[in-house]
Structures are given as structure tokens and as C-alpha cells.
């Protein structure tokens, strides 16, 4: 029983940390909330040719990829995606994907993310000349009446096989994963996608998780005391 309670407390504390991170990023552009999900792992029974059975249970992390609220900024290089899809970013670790569209022009004149990684268009990194820039709903980057390139917006099968890689970026869970062109994606210039964290609901989850943790802690203390008393009684026999 004590081991079961200890495992429960560990999981609850992990969930507390996940929720705390969500709250800390409630104002982060393009942030996607995380949580833990309880699953039953099915496996084939090894003996006898095997029917499917429950091999075990566990908690796994998952990310909520629902859209965050639209924030109109009026800034030329801010980009929000409506509908499915991700912007493609070139990093030293390989291609990464993001919906955090607070872009700027880097020192070499290319469009970059807030962390300085180049955002890719259909022809590669997008070189922007000096002067005003506009972005169309089709994702075209225009300057002085000329189309410079079009944002490469891609999508993946659902549930999204992506893992967080810092700086608002997502990495493929498998190197073999291939992106496809995002169907129905709309690109909005002068706007950003906010965090999809629901602060009120997340605060409620935080309080509930802490209460469950404290209850498990009390139960563990009671079980420990009962075990000690039982051991003392056995020693007197």
C-alpha cells in the first residue's frame, strides 16, 4: 500500500509541475498546454498464442494543440495561423515547427523567430529588404509590390506526433515523420496566436491536484504508522 501511495504522490507532483508550467506560460505566444493522461497498455499474452490483455497502466504526457486566442497587434512581421498547420523553422538541430509567429528581421536580413532561427518559405529562408512588409492570407510575404516568398505551412496526422523542443518549437517524435502541406490554413499578418492555457480551469486543476497530493500524503503517513505499530506488536510476541 505504501508503495502505491508513494507512486500516486509522485504522479500528482509531476502533474502539479506540469500545471505550474502551463500557468507560467499563460502569456507566451503560441504556447500549447500540457497535461498527464492515464492509460492502460494493451499487450499480447506471450503464452498460448495470446489474446490481448492489459500489461500495465501508466501516466503519459500529452499536449493540447487546440488553437489559442487571436491577438491583433498591427505589427507587420507578426504572423498568426488560423486553422491547422505550423510554420517551418530551420535550426541547428534540424527542421522544427511552431505557431509562435512573433517574427523579426535578423542581422543577415532573413525572417527569424524570437530565438533567431530562420523561418522557411517555399524557396527556403525568406530574405527581406529594407522597408515595409505585408503578409497576405495565403501566406505571401510582400514588399514594395513584389512577392518575396510564401510561408511554408505544414501539417501532420492527428494526434500530432510532435514533442516540445523549447523556444515554442516542436520536433517530430520520429525522424521518419513527413510533413504535408496544411490544407485550409489561413495566415494572418499583424496578429499573433496567444497561449491556449485556460487560466481559470488550470487554477482549479492546480488546487484539485494539491488537495489530492495532500490526501495521499496523509494516507501514507497513516499507513506508515500502522505498519510501525504492527511491527512493534509482533516484536512483543
List pLDDT tens digits, range 159-217.
Answer: 899 999 999 999 999 988 889 999 989 999 999 999 999 999 999 999 998 898 888 88
Collapsing DSSP states into helix, strand and coil, what is residue 75?
coil
Is the overall model pTM greater than 0.85, yes or no?
A: no
**Residue 155, pLDDT above cutoff 90:** yes
pLDDT bin (cut points 50, 70, 90) of residue 109 is very high
Residues 101, 177: one domain?
Answer: yes
CA distances from 117 to 65, 114, 185, 234 (A): 22, 8, 22, 67
Residues 83, 150: one domain?
Answer: yes
pLDDT bin (cut points 50, 70, 90) of residue 45 is very low
Per the structure, how many domains does the chain have?
2
Which range of residues forms the domain containing residue 9? Answer: 1-26+197-237
Is the peptide bond between 59 and the residue preceding it cis, with omega within 30 degrees of 0? no
Q: Which residue has the higher pLDDT, 2 or 51?
A: 2
Residues 89, 181: one domain?
Answer: yes
Q: Which residue has the higher pLDDT, 43 or 4?
A: 4
What grid cell was written down for 90?
530551420
Residues 182, 209: one domain?
Answer: no
Amino acid at each position: 500500500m505504501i508503495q502505491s501511495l508513494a507512486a500516486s504522490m509522485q504522479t500528482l507532483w509531476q502533474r502539479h509541475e506540469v500545471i505550474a508550467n502551463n500557468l507560467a506560460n499563460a502569456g507566451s505566444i503560441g504556447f500549447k498546454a500540457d497535461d498527464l493522461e492515464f492509460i492502460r497498455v494493451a499487450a499480447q499474452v506471450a503464452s498460448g498464442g495470446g489474446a490481448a490483455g492489459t500489461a500495465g497502466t501508466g501516466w503519459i504526457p500529452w499536449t493540447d494543440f487546440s488553437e489559442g486566442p487571436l491577438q491583433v497587434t498591427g505589427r507587420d512581421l507578426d504572423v498568426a495561423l488560423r486553422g491547422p498547420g505550423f510554420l517551418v523553422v530551420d535550426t541547428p538541430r534540424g527542421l522544427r515547427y511552431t505557431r509562435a509567429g512573433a517574427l523579426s528581421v535578423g542581422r543577415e536580413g532573413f525572417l527569424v523567430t524570437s530565438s533567431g532561427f530562420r523561418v522557411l518559405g517555399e524557396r527556403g529562408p525568406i530574405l527581406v529588404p529594407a522597408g515595409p512588409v505585408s503578409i497576405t492570407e495565403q501566406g505571401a510575404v510582400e514588399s514594395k509590390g513584389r512577392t518575396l516568398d510564401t510561408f511554408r505551412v505544414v501539417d501532420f496526422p492527428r494526434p500530432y506526433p510532435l514533442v516540445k523542443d523549447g523556444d515554442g518549437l516542436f520536433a517530430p517524435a520520429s525522424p521518419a515523420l513527413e510533413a504535408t502541406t496544411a490544407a485550409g490554413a489561413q495566415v494572418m499578418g499583424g496578429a499573433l496566436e496567444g497561449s491556449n492555457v485556460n487560466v481559470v480551469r488550470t487554477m482549479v486543476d492546480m488546487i484539485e491536484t494539491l488537495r489530492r497530493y495532500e490526501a495521499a500524503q496523509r494516507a501514507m503517513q497513516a499507513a506508515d504508522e500502522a505498519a510501525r505499530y504492527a511491527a512493534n506488536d509482533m516484536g512483543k510476541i
